[in-house]
Amino acid sequence: MNKRIVSLVLLGSLNFLQANTNDEFINFALKNIHERNFHGCDDAVKKIFNIARGDDMNISTNLFKNLNDTIKLTSTFGYKNDSVYMEAEIRKKDNKCYVTQTSILNFSNSCIEYAKSMQEFKFATQNLDYTWMTHYDNNTNMILKPIGNNCLVIYNINWVN
């Protein structure tokens, strides 16, 4: 899995993976939400997991009892030493699906190098040992944290399906 491509797909900058989705991962995610009696946002789930690739995937779902309008998906997927941790919360309201998605990736280069490669983002602020950056077009947050010679990258994105 090329993490640069994953990063861009998370931002919706690339759509070519839509046609090359891993149906096994998507079906696994859909099965999980349907078993929790959450229906009506299948297209949002497909969009969330359109980047899922790798040797393994796991999903846990959380749903409030007596409230079937919101579900939280926590998943991991990818390859050994090249994996993605993702949380997505989906809320159904007025025939729309509102998604908040957080993805965490670990890159083997420095945060400075990574930030330079992500020209779609501009610096927002420095907070403690985190660097906050904002996407120029859609205000997606990218938060960088140095860990040794590596960089932990956190993306936060919201969208409506």
pTM over 0.75: yes
For 109, phi and psi rounded to 5 degrees?
Answer: -120, 175
Tens of pLDDT, residue by residue over 79-127, are 887 888 999 999 999 999 999 999 998 888 899 999 998 888 999 999 9
Alpha carbons 137 and 116: distance in angstroms, whole number? 17
116: containing domain: 3-160
Residue 4 confidence (pLDDT) above 80: no
Number of separate domains in the chain: 1
What is the per-residue pLDDT for 139? 67
Residue 34: strand, helix, or coil:
helix
Residue 20 buriedness (CB in 10 A; 0-12 / 13-18 / 19+): exposed
